[in-house]
Amino acid sequence: MIPKELLQDRYWKGLLHIFSQNQKLNQFITSHIDFDELSINATGLIKLSSPWSPSEKFMLNLALHLYNENYTFNLSDMDRLDPINKKIAFKAIQMRFA
């Protein structure tokens, strides 16, 4: 269960939106996000994503970047997304920077 206060935090809400709306990432919410410690196992997720498609990796990298800008990604790779994931990505960006 996602704590309600995190849904109001500008650094968490974009990441949580992507993870909750993206089919691939949704399965890793409970295994790689510790809501008690308020931490993300980003290293584990990045390792896990090595065989994923470029669009799946983009969504992970965008989510991590919205949470912490130390995680970089190439915005131009958004061209690889299907319309559903583009909508998710744009909404998450809006949530982070609105």
Give 33's DSSP letter.
E
Is this prediction's pTM over 0.85?
yes
Q: Domain of 89?
A: 4-97
Report residue 39 as tokens: 């931490």
Confidence grade of residue 65 (pLDDT, cut at 50, 70, 90): very high
Would the pLDDT of 1 be above 80? no
At 66 the pLDDT is 96
Residue with tokens 């995680």: 71
Overall number of domains in the chain: 1
User: Tell me: the pLDDT tens digits for 35-59?
Assistant: 999 999 999 999 999 999 999 999 9
Least Cα distance to 62 among 38, 98, 34, 95 occurs for 95
Give the chain's mean pLDDT: 94
Parallel/antiparallel/unpaired status of strands 33-34 and 39-40: antiparallel
The answer to whether the CB of 95 falls within 8 A of the CB of 88 is no
What are the phi and psi torsion angles at 71 (to 5°)?
A: -90, 110
At 2 the pLDDT is 79
Confidence grade of residue 95 (pLDDT, cut at 50, 70, 90): very high
* Dist CA 19 CA 27 (whole Å): 8
* 3-class secondary structure, 82: coil
